Structure 1
Amino acid sequence: MIHYCFLINRLGKCRMEQWYDIVSEKDQAKILRETTALVLGRTSKLCNFIEYRGLKIVYKRYASLFFIIAIDPTDNEFITLEIIQQYVESLDTYFGSVCELDLVFSFHKAYYLLYELIMSGEIMETSKKVIYQAMMSQDLNEAVDLENVPEV
């Protein structure tokens, strides 16, 4: 099971966070701060797995962003790396070549892509084509909703 997912930049600024466990805001901030320090403190020559608070932290860096997922100790780290890869490829398919600014200005789209891929801490969809079609359907629904807004 996935417990949480973060996207942080090289400076440690959190760009996205998704929690699949019930955690107080105080603990969320502490976990985010400690996880960020652990990941940013590692060199690129070290493996992408860390044990932290009884969980496995799996991370991967793409350009200026770190994609971080915490999983159960018994879960497979390589499948988690594939989940990260799938998410990055889905972001790239939707945004073109995704960058940090896409996540800042279209964060709702990035979250929607994540929701299509992972639900309640479990992988739900593995097909990039199905995820992309869901995104296009969502965009179409938004466009229809905007056309039906009454003028003021």
Structure 2
Amino acid sequence: MLQFILIQNRQGKTRLSKWYIPCDDQEKNKIKGKIHRLIVSRDRRRQCNFVDFNNHKIIYRRYAGLFFSAIHLFVEVIDSFFGNVCELDLIFNFYKVYAILDEIFLGGELQETN
């Protein structure tokens, strides 16, 4: 089960977050900061996209200037929806991105792959 989905840019600004576990805002911000510091310092050529974090696994992928902490399927879907998705699509059409996310994931479980 997914605990959360994060999309962050290289500067650590969160562009999308969806939480499937109960956390207060302070705890969420602490987790986001720790994950960004952990991911941004990794060597893309020598290290894989799986990271241990607080007894969980962080699975991430960098696309252009964004880090996706989720599944490649979500990236493919929003890319086909927006036609070569970029960070500005996530900022100005966040409600569409959340609707797509809710179609794919329900309560942290993958629901739809078609």
Bin of the TM-score, shorter chain as denominator length: over 0.9
Ranges of 4+ aligned residues in structure 1 off by more than 3 Å: none
The residue aligned with 1:80 is: none
Q: Report the CA distance between 1:56 and its aligned residue.
A: 0.3
CA distance in 2, matches of 1:111, 1:63: 20
Alpha-carbon RMSD? 0.8
1:121 corresponds to which of 105, 108, 111:
108
CA distance in 1, matches of 2:43, 2:4: 23
Question: Residue 108 of structure 2 aligns to which amino acid in structure 1?
Answer: G
Q: Report the CA distance between 1:101 and its aligned residue.
A: 0.2
Larger radius of gyration: 1
Which fold has the larger relative contact order, with Cα–Cα distance below 8 Å and residues 6 or more apart in sequence?
2
Question: Residue 103 of structure 1 aligns to which amino acid in structure 2?
Answer: L
CA distance in 2, matches of 1:9, 1:43: 17
Question: Residue 3 of structure 1 aligns to which amino acid in structure 2?
Answer: Q
1:85 corresponds to which of 54, 66, 72:
72
Q: Report the CA distance between 1:63 and its aligned residue.
A: 1.1
> After the TM superposition, which residues 1-152 of structure 1 pair with which residues of structure 2 at under 5 Å, given as runs?
1-45=1-45, 46-69=47-70, 84-127=71-114
Unaligned stretches of 5+ in structure 2?
none
- Secondary structure at the aligned position of 1:2 is classed as coil
CA distance in 2, matches of 1:89, 1:68: 14
CA distance in 2, matches of 1:96, 1:120: 27
Q: What TM-score do you get using the length of structure 2 for normalisation?
A: 0.96
Q: What TM-score do you get using the length of structure 1 for normalisation?
A: 0.72
Number of equivalenced pairs: 113
CA distance in 1, matches of 2:44, 2:64: 13
Give the fraction of aligned pairs with identical amino acids, expressed as a percent: 41
More helix by proportion, 1 or 2? Answer: 1
CA distance in 2, matches of 1:5, 1:92: 17
Q: Report the CA distance between 1:44 and its aligned residue.
A: 0.7
